[in-house]
Amino acid sequence: MIGDIMSISRLRMGTDGEGVSTLITLHGCPLSCKYCINDYCHDEFCERSAYTPEKLVEVLKKDDIYFKMSGGGIVFGGGEPLLQSEFIAEVFRIADSKWKKRIETSLNVPWENIEPLLPLTDEWIIDIKDIDEGIYRKYTGCSNAVVKENLLKMKEHIPAENMKIRVPYIPDYNTEKNVEKSVKWVRNALGIEAEQFGYFVTEKKQ
Ligand code: SF4
């Protein structure tokens, strides 16, 4: 089994949950966000590396002591990491049990990509964009029906404290009122207080 990896970023703090973390960004994403943070994840020819789970864990071991002392660990992002969920599951299975295992995702993938990872993942960091179908579609080019379904299913399987939900203010696409509506939906449907934040916009795709 091979992971299609764009980058491995070590010794991160304060950006991917508690403690020191190593962020592994995986190639590919089903969405086309207008302010994509990693637009090269859509580029078939961008520079990247092939790793087996064992080879990746060897790299991650370099920071073992930092992970354990800080309560940190490994986080998969992207792109949409859940497009390579089997690879992630194998890495989580063979990684040190004391490392925190986290996934940063938009959750816009089939449930089959999520379910096997539920017992293996300590924290899900989920950027839901906007809960309004029209705004979501305008911003990402896709429907968010699957995202809502996945959120509701996850609530039935894992504790709410394992789901960190983020709702962005997206310049030109939603308003503070829209953000409030999304936060309210998350509160009512999932019993979770979502974190609000603003996208830092550098460039908008046409
Ligand atoms: S979900 Fe992330 S990687 Fe995918 S298009 Fe949106 S910003 Fe880019």
Percent of the chain predicted with pLDDT > 70: 97
pTM over 0.85: yes
Of 127, 125, 139, residue with least CA distance to 174: 139
CATH label of the domain that carries residue 77: 3.20.20.70
Verify whether ligand 1 is closer than 6 Å to residue 109 (CB atom): no
Q: Does a structural domain hold residue 206?
A: no
What average pLDDT does this structure show over 187-195? 98
Verify whether ligand 1 is closer than 6 Å to residue 31 (CB atom): yes
Q: Does a structural domain hold residue 177?
A: yes
Buried/exposed 182-194: b ≥16 CB within 10 Å, e otherwise: bbebbeeebebeb
Q: Does a structural domain hold residue 117?
A: yes
Q: Does a structural domain hold residue 51?
A: yes
**C-alpha 3 chain-centroid distance:** 16
CB atoms within 10 A of CB 9: 14
Q: Does a structural domain hold residue 44?
A: yes
Taking all residues of the chain, what is their mean pLDDT, rounded to a whole number?
A: 96
pLDDT at residue 206 tops 80 = no
- Greater confidence, 136 or 199? 136
Testing ligand 1's pocket by substitution, the residue of 31, 46, 130 carrying the most ligand atoms inside 8 A of its CB is: 31
Q: Whose CA is nearest to atom 3 of ligand 1?
A: 79
**Minimum-distance ligand 1 atom for the alpha carbon of 37:** 7
C-alpha dist (Å) from residue 36 to 78, 139, 161, 172: 10, 10, 27, 14
Beta bridge pairs of residue 75:
23, 102
Q: What's the CA-to-centroid distance between 68 and ligand 1, angstroms?
A: 30
For residue 37, the model assigns a pLDDT of: 85
Tens digits of residue pLDDT in 160-190: 999 999 999 999 999 999 999 999 999 999 9
Q: Does a structural domain hold residue 55?
A: yes
**Edge-to-edge order in the sheet of strand 73-77:** 49-51, 3-13, 20-26, 73-77, 100-105, 123-127, 163-169, 195-198
Tens digits of residue pLDDT in 60-70: 999 999 999 99
Q: Does a structural domain hold residue 107?
A: yes
Domains in the chain, number: 1
Verify whether ligand 1 is closer than 6 Å to residue 79 (CB atom): yes
Of 76, 70, 75, residue with least CA distance to 20: 70
**pLDDT-derived band at 203, boundaries 50, 70, 90:** low
Task: Print the domain residue range for 129.
Answer: 3-198
Output Rg (C-alpha) for the chain, integer angstroms. 17
Q: Does a structural domain hold residue 204?
A: no
